[in-house]
């Protein structure tokens, strides 16, 4: 598979969403958590989304409870953190696993295409994957990479 478009995921409110809905857009896929030291990155991700959405950027948040049990709540808890505490307006999906045998197929694909320093594993919450307008994964960002420090890569993807 050479594109992320064949994948589907379930939105936080339970609707199946096809990644083809984002064809032609620059997509930033992020595994998130509500109780993490990196959780304040929601604000930076939202700022990027608002700044560049009109140019074709979309951020997709995928809550994950595999790292320090930092996303132990259900959809209501997740939405409270995202929408109320951080004003997130970008699409959020249901909780997924990103490592191991039960990893969501989208994350298996992204880790294969952009392995990172741990090879085929995600190190922690808020690992980010930038995908170009053609559905090709372009760049992987570590959890500690602040959203504002990804802006030049996002701009380059938006301009290509």
Instruction: List residues with catalytic annotation.
Output: 36
* Cα(59)–Cα(83) distance, integer angstroms: 14
Q: Give SS3 for 85.
A: helix
Strand 26-32 to strand 16-18: parallel, antiparallel, or no bridges (unpaired)?
Answer: unpaired
Across the chain, where does the E strand assignment appear?
Answer: 8-10, 16-18, 26-32, 57-63, 128-131, 137-141
């Amino acid at each position: 598979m050479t594109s992320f478009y064949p994948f589907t995921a379930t939105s936080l409110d339970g609707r199946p969403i096809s990644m083809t809905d984002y064809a032609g857009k620059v997509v930033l896929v992020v595994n998130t958590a509500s109780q993490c030291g990196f959780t304040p990155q929601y604000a930076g991700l939202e700022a990027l989304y608002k700044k560049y959405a009109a140019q074709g950027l979309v951020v997709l948040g995928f809550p994950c409870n595999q790292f320090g049990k930092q996303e132990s709540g259900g959809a209501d808890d997740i939405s409270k953190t995202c929408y109320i505490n951080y004003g997130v307006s970008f699409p959020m999906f249901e909780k997924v696993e990103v490592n191991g045998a039960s990893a969501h197929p989208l994350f298996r694909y992204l880790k294969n295409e952009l392995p990172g320093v741990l090879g085929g594993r995600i190190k922690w919450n808020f690992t980010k994957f930038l995908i170009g307008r053609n559905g090709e994964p372009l760049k992987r960002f570590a959890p500690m990479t602040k959203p504002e420090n990804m802006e030049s890569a996002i701009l380059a993807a938006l301009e290509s």
